[in-house]
Structure formats: structure tokens, C-alpha cells
Structure 1
Amino acid sequence: MWDIVEYFAILAVHALSWVAVGHALLTKHDPRAALGWTVTALLLPLVGPLLYASFGISRAESRATRIMQRQAPLEPDYAHPPLPRKPPGPVPENIVSMERIGRVLTAQHLSVGDAITPLHNGDEAYPAMLQAINAAQDQVYLSTYIFNAGASATAFCEALAAAAARGVDVRLLVDGVGQLYSLRRPWKKLARQGVRVAVFLPPRLLPPNLSINLRNHRKLLVCDQTGFTGGMNIADENLTSGKRGYVQDVHFCCQGPIVDQLRRAFLLDWGFCTGQYSPLPPPSTKARGNSRCRIIMDGPGSDDDPLSDIFCGVINAARHSVRVMTPYFLPSHGLVAALRSAGQRGVDVRIVLPAKNNLFYVHWATFRLLPTLLEAGVRVWYQPPPFAHTKLLAVDGYYSQIGSSNWDARSLRLNFELNMEIFDAKAHDAIAAHIDAAINRGTECTTHDLRRFSLPKRLRNAACWIFSPYL
């Protein structure tokens, strides 16, 4: 009797190992991860599958997939437009390959005739945003990751309430995890003042929702025919007046047809949170500038990685220069390979990071992967404090990208992000000048500097780097 029980117990344990192996082979994108978990599951019966179930399964991705599958029947037609096979008009020869990458991955054409204006820190961005809210007659759509209590939040709440009082359709979308950055949340009172308020996947115990890794990191504001986007939250820390420890950042005012794409992005997020999808208004065709732009929406729950693929594609297409500015730099193996390849073929690749980071463990982990980039000809600078939260990309004198996404696993695998491609020499030059100014103030990091790290510091950096997919 016991022999039969023992036989079936052994059979069940080995079957469990093969179930874990099958799941790893079918779901892991990195063959090294699939191989590692396969070996672990087979060599450690019972223990290996339990370890895989605890640490190997991406619960955030699985949760996102389930959410997206439930959401799919509710989504309107404009959520999944047909793939455009070619642009509506001629595309300059120097951007053909870069234009096609974004078109294929986003299923959207470039908008033509946009004006993009950089706004530095909250001192420039907030007054422009408040002015647009105060002037709005039809719509005010605001989405932000963080909406911290303070003078800035009060000003925005007053402007939003006033717009709702005069009959404007005012909607506010705040991230469920981002709201926890502030104990006081004055924006919650807006629901009693005619503002439609929604929270993106708020953490709660009943009914349970603890998907704290699924965050809406997008920042955008649409006021009729004027839009804003970039990486800036709403918080007093973005104001420089009388402060030494403020947060540096750049936001952008957008005018022209690209505002229609920003509006579409907001309405999709609003429908995701509320289950109520509004009709997409007729497109605006009024040109306001010379830029060609396109919105990139990225998030977990699908097999596509548009932002990561576009980053890699654009860098691989670069022939002269690549400038990157980001607060968090823990790129994937594919992005590291693209940067290395660019440096090795003679492209001037420059990366600017903050010398003082608000996430010290990310700062330490970055040091572990820098040697492989520096050895390939990539150059890295650290700009002095205060902490710079800015996310910018400028390539070959014509292409640039702005938005909410950092160059790390959280942004490229877990967060819901929104970036904008800009095809325009003037816009590129303004972004490149901002990056170059930081380079001129900063200190270049060399392989010699990294070799001077003591053994304890190198071990510390490597330990943080091991956990970089989860930072």
C-alpha cells in the first residue's frame, strides 16, 4: 500500500516539475531565464517548482493580461485602429526608417503641423497649464501619476473646479499608487465640485487589489486644442523658487493635430478605469507648427513592447549622434546591445544621469552595467544636483522623444507609459541643447573611475544590479 502511495507521490512531484518547465518555456522571453528555471525545476523536485511559483512567475504581467482580456470587449474601435501601411503624405528621406518603426508598432501615422514648446520646471509648466485650464471651454482632461498636496495642488484644484463650474467637461485621473505619495489629497474634494475623478487601479483589501506594480505613469493634460505632456508630476518639489533641493524636470506644451492623439490616449485610460468610453471627437486639422509627432502608449498585458522596440530601432538606425537623459538607467539587454552597437560603429552616444538620485539603489545598480557601455565607446556624464527627473532622447539632428518613460525595467515592463516622437530639427536642437548644457555642468564617468571603486562598493553595486528587474 505504502509503495503505491510513494510511487504516486514521486510521480506527482516530477509532474509538478515538468509543469513548471513547460510554463517557463512558454512564457519567458529570455532564454537564459527559461534555461535557469528549467534546470532548477528538474534538479530540485518540489523545491524547484515552489521557487518558480514564488519568484519566477511574473504576477504583474499575469494580472495585467487578465485585466486586458476583461477590458477587450468594452474597448471602442479607436482603441485598435487598423495598421496604416504608408504615411498619408511624403516623408523626408532621412527619417523613413525611423518613421516606419513607430508606425508599425503604434498603428498610427505621424501628425503633421505640430508646435512643441519646452517648459522648464514647475515655474514655467504650471502657469502655462493653469492658463490653459482657465481658458478651456469644452474639455479639460488631466492625468498624473503624483498629485501631492501643496500650493501647486491647490492652484490646480481651484482651476479645475472653476472650469467645471462654467460647464466644461473636467476629468481627473490619478494613479492608485501615486496617490499614496501624499497623506493629504485635496483633489478628492473635486468630485463634489462637478469634476469627474477616477483612480487607476487603487490598492485595496476589499475587494482585493494589491497589484502595486501596475501603475499609470502617464502625464498629460488636454485643454480643448492645447495639450501638455512630459515627465512632470504635480508637486511643489518641481518649483525652484527659494529652494535648493527642488526636482529638475521638463514638460512640453503641444499644439496642433497631435492634441487629438493625446485626447485619444486619455479617453482610453479613462475608459479603462471607469468602463465608460467616450466617443472620440472629430480630428482637428489646424496646423500650428512644423513638427511631425506621434504618441506611443506602452503597458503590460500584451506581447508587444513598443517603447523598448522603438528605442532599439531608432538607436540602431542612428548614424551620427544619440543623446539620452534619464533619471533611472537600468536598460534591458537589448537596449544595452543597441547602445553598444551604436558606439562601436562610431555614433556619438552620450548618456546623462543624475549625480544625486532619489533612489540610491538604482544609482548603485547602474554602476554595474556601465563598463560594458564605456568599453564600446558610449560616453556617460553625471549632472550635479538637484535631482533631475527629466527623460529625453535626441538622435541625428532631427528625431527626438519626450514623455514619462524611464530607461529601466519598471517603465518598460510594468508601468503604463506615454511618450511622444518628434520629427523636427528645431525641436531636436532645443532638446539636445538642454542635454548638452547638463553635460557642460556635469562630470564624465570613465572606466578609470569605476576601477577605483573598493571591493565592498563593487559588491554593493552588483547586489543591487541583480535585483534591477524589480527596482
Structure 2
Amino acid sequence: MSTFFTFVSWLLLFGYWLLIAGVTLRILMKRRAVTSAMAWLLIIFILPLVGIIAYLSFGELHLGKRRAERARTMWPSTAKWLSELKQSHHIFATEYSDVARSLFQLCENRQGVAGVRGNQLQLLTSAEETMAALIRDIQLARHNIEMVFYIWHPGGLADEVAESLMAASRRGVHCRLMLDSAGSVTFFRSPMAAMMRNAGVDVVEALQVSLLRVFLRRMDLRQHRKVVLIDNYIAYTGSMNLVDPRFFKQDAGVGQWVDLMARMEGPIATTMGIVYACDWEIETGKRILPPAPDGNIMPFEQESGHTIQVIASGPGFPEDMIHQALLTAVYSAREQLIMTTPYFVPSDDLLHAICTAALRGVDVSIIVPRHNDSLLVGWASRAFFTELLEAGVKIYQFESGLLHTKSVLVDGQLSLIGTVNLDMRSLWLNFEITLVIDDAGFGGDLSHVQDDYIARSRLLDARRWSQRAWWQRIVERLFYFFSPLL
């Protein structure tokens, strides 16, 4: 009997070390950043069982077999649709400003379509303003409404949007609503989901969270886009979830969330529509390619309209696109670079690009919230401050709530706004969307918004920062260790 138990013990020990060796080899064979690989290896060797379970759950980009197959099969029809869209030569831009040219060329080469011109574009700087405009557009909708949000939180103005959406569905408008399962868990647990479905709204719970799927699909891969499309002509996107800040995370101790949204009219709605169609097909298996723009879709002359490019990321879309776009934008800066983000955990390449811009004389400012709703990200982001300050980057800490706006402004001309945080999750994992706008007028509008953020912020003093307590430095470095995984 003792011989049997000895044999079983050795067999279990051999299996244990074989599992560690197998996962280690898998990490080494995957092409990833060295810092990320080292972080995973250290976690697995220090806490083997916890590390292995965490890696199998979150270490690789698993979309799931069914969704991955849909992502592969949708591209022939999508490519054909894009080919037909290119025949509408009148909607595509052929000239760009000097600062924007390289970024638009990158997007066209990797995504297959150029920037579209002749769009009307309006910045919306508050939840009240955004939802009032959204309700008005929903009430005027005649054919179809498509929405995707990471978070829909019932209460306040969000309920008014829901009522207008259900009313539109009852009068015959085809309404589709896709919400992330994890982000919108409160919505799906509330009566609102059933009410909308009863009203005829096609509600889809994207990337459902389930312990049964934990090893079949990466659970922290999220649908993080915020998009509204109305009648294939009006489009919204930006940083705002469908929440009323007065009713959302009031117990987090960070104040109300501050966001920025863009409302657009014109052919940009068509290119955003193809992104939504791909997301819908990956999640549901149903194809809803938008109609090609007709000849009358450009009411705004090229001189007064805005040139916009859409960048979409996530499984099934060009890999590393968002990261490459940000690097290109930062390296294009010659005079001024302003960035706002709630979560600042950049890659080494992006950190180096930002510091290099400051060192070559560009006026670089980064605006982040003083108090963050994520303890991990809040501490990890501070680990980068010393290097940024030494390079001459100005760091502003926003004090009037949680600054949730994601924006980049280069030389007052090139703007990037959307859903992308400056962290690893947004850069390489989630379904995200960003608008690239080449227009000095819009750049001026965004600059005014950013100036308002700066006026409500505290400039971080380099000397005082260097004198912070030793325990803070230790905590920062501890969380910095996990930064490749955040």
C-alpha cells in the first residue's frame, strides 16, 4: 500500500511540474512583450497554482471557438462590401494636413479605407447635453437605431433614453442594442432588459460572463465600444457610457464621471456602421451590413466638413492598430501634445514616445484624474510619473470628479477621441473605437475642452513628487510589476 501511495505521490508531483513546464513553454512561445512574459512567469513561479489558473483564464486572447469562427467567416462579405464602398470616390479624402498625413496613411493601409470627408461634427461635453441630443435624434429616427455600450446603468436620464428607444421600436423603427455582459450587469439584473425586449428592441448580452466558459474564452475581454447609429446617417461615439453621472458609482468616492462625446452627420456613419455590423455578427451570427452611402449623403462641402477616420480594435480587427496609431500621433507632434485619460498604464513604447516628444521640445501635457475608481491602476500609473516629469512632461491631476475623457490633440490640428484608455487592456485586448479628425477648427474646440480640464486640475510639482514617502514608492513599484497585465 505504501508503494502505491508513493507512486501516486510521485505521479502527482510529476504532473504538477509538467503543468508548470507546459505553461512556461506556452508563455515563451507566444509572441508578447518581454515585460508581460516576465510578469506572468514570476507569478507562476511564486504562486504556481494561482498563476496557472490566472494565465489560463486571462493570459491569452481567447475569443471563443464560435465567435472566432464567425470572425473568420464574416471577412469575405465584409471585404466585398468595402470594395463596393470604395466606388463612392466622392466621400473619401485625398489630402491631409502635414501632421495628420502619416496617421491617415497608416489607417488606410491597414484597414483598407481612407478617411471620409464632408462630415458635420459636434462636441458634447456633458451627460445632460449628450442625452438630450440623443433623445431628440431617437425621436426623429425613421428606419433603424443601433447601439453598443460597455455600461448601461438604469436611473435618471438613462431611463429617459430607454423610454425613447422603446417608443421608437413600437412605432416600427428597427432597434438593436448590444451591451457588455460584465459592464452592464446591473442593467441585465433590472426589469429594463425585459421591458425593452417586450417593446421589440433586439437586446443582446455581449461576451457573457460564466464560470463554465472561463477556460474556453478570456473573461476579461470586453466589448468596450460606445456607439450609436441612427438611420445610417447620424453617429455618436466617445467616452461616455449610457449612465447618468448622478446615479452612477456614487459610493466610489471619486465624484461624478466627466466625459466627452461626438455627434456626427455624414458618411462617417457608414464606416462606423461596418464596425457595428462586424460586432453584431461576431456576437449573434447575423449579418446586418449597412447600405452603401447614396450620392446625396454629403450635404456639407469639403471646405466646411470634417475629415474623419475610424479605428476599430479587438479580435477580428487589424492587430495592434490602436497602439500603432497612438505612437504615430505622438511622433507626429512638433509643437504641442495634450492627452487625457482616466487610466494611464502605457506600454514601454508609448511611454518612450511621450518622453521623447517632450525631450525634443514639444509642449506635452497629460491630464489624469486625481482620484481613481481603480486602486490597481491608480497606483500603477504613478510609477510612470517620475520618468515623465524628468523628461519635462506636465502632469495635471483633475480634481472635479473622475475625468473619463479619452482624447489626444496634436499641434491643434490632429485629434483622437473615443473609448481607448492609455492602458494595456485598451491597447491590445478590448473591442475599442477611436475617431481620428484632421481639422484645425475641431482641434480648437477640443483644445477649449482640455483647457477647461486643466483649469480644474492641479499641476504635479516635480520637486514635491520626488519627496513623497518611501512606502508610496514601494506600493507604486509593486503595482507597476502588474502593469503589463492590467
Q: Flag whether TM exceeds 0.5 (same fold).
A: yes
Change (3 A) 1:185 1:430: farther
1: CA distance between counterparts of 2:418 and 2:40?
35
Give the letter for the 2:381 counterpart: T
After superposition, the C-alpha distances for 1:179-230 in whole angstroms (9 at most, x for unaligned) are 1245525133211111111110111356777743011110011111111110
Pick from 222, 237, 241 the counterpart of residue 245 of structure 2: 237
What corresponds to 1:272 in structure 2? 282
What corresponds to 1:213 in structure 2? 220
Residues 124-133 or 310-319, more deviating: 310-319
Q: Does 1:375 align with 2:380?
A: no
Is the Cα contact below 8 Å between 1:88 and 1:109 reproduced in 2?
yes
Change (3 A) 1:21 1:122: closer
SS in 1 for 2:257: coil
Give the letter for the 2:95 counterpart: P
Change (3 A) 1:337 1:230: same
What corresponds to 1:407 in structure 2? 422
Pick from 25, 28, 31 the counterpart of residue 25 of structure 1: 28
2: CA distance between counterparts of 1:192 and 1:334?
49
Change (3 A) 1:55 1:441: same
What corresponds to 1:173 in structure 2? 178
2: CA distance between counterparts of 1:141 and 1:37?
39
Report how far residue 303 of structure 1 moved: 7.5
1: CA distance between counterparts of 2:18 and 2:176?
52
Q: Does 1:251 align with 2:256?
A: no
Pick from 326, 329, 333 the counterpart of residue 311 of structure 1: 326
What corresponds to 1:121 in structure 2? 126
Report how far residue 327 of structure 1 moved: 0.8
Give the letter for the 2:372 counterpart: N
1: CA distance between counterparts of 2:450 and 2:143?
37
Q: Does 1:160 align with 2:192?
A: no
What corresponds to 1:64 in structure 2? 63
2: CA distance between counterparts of 1:238 and 1:94?
39
What is the identity percentage for the equivalent residue pairs of Structure 1 and Structure 2?
27
Is the Cα contact below 8 Å between 2:312 and 2:431 reproduced in 1?
yes
1: CA distance between counterparts of 2:42 and 2:146?
50
Pick from 139, 142, 146 the counterpart of residue 147 of structure 2: 142
Count how many residue pairs are aligned between Structure 1 and Structure 2: 463
SS in 2 for 1:375: helix
Report how far residue 106 of structure 1 moved: 2.6
Pick from 206, 209, 215 the counterpart of residue 203 of structure 1: 209
After superposition, the C-alpha distances for 1:168-189 in whole angstroms (9 at most, x for unaligned) are 1111111110112455251332
Report how far residue 100 of structure 1 moved: 1.1
What corresponds to 1:112 in structure 2? 117
What corresponds to 2:230 in structure 1? 223
Change (3 A) 1:38 1:425: same
Report how far residue 131 of structure 1 moved: 0.6
Change (3 A) 1:125 1:54: same
Report how far residue 116 of structure 1 moved: 1.3
Report how far residue 17 of structure 1 moved: 6.8
What corresponds to 2:447 in structure 1? 432
Change (3 A) 1:232 1:238: farther
Change (3 A) 1:375 1:73: closer
Report how far residue 340 of structure 1 moved: 1.0
Is the Cα contact below 8 Å between 1:61 and 1:300 reproduced in 2?
no
Is the Cα contact below 8 Å between 1:20 and 1:49 reproduced in 2?
no
**Under a length normalisation based on structure 1, what TM-score does the superposition of the two structures give?**
0.88
Report how far residue 67 of structure 1 moved: 5.3
SS in 2 for 1:63: coil
Residues 93-102 or 378-387, more deviating: 93-102
After superposition, the C-alpha distances for 1:375-412 in whole angstroms (9 at most, x for unaligned) are 11211111212221111110012100111111112222
Is the Cα contact below 8 Å between 1:204 and 1:210 reproduced in 2?
no
User: Unaligned regions of 5+ residues in structure 1, if any?
Assistant: none
Change (3 A) 1:197 1:65: closer
Is the Cα contact below 8 Å between 2:93 and 2:307 reproduced in 1?
no
2: CA distance between counterparts of 1:260 and 1:302?
17
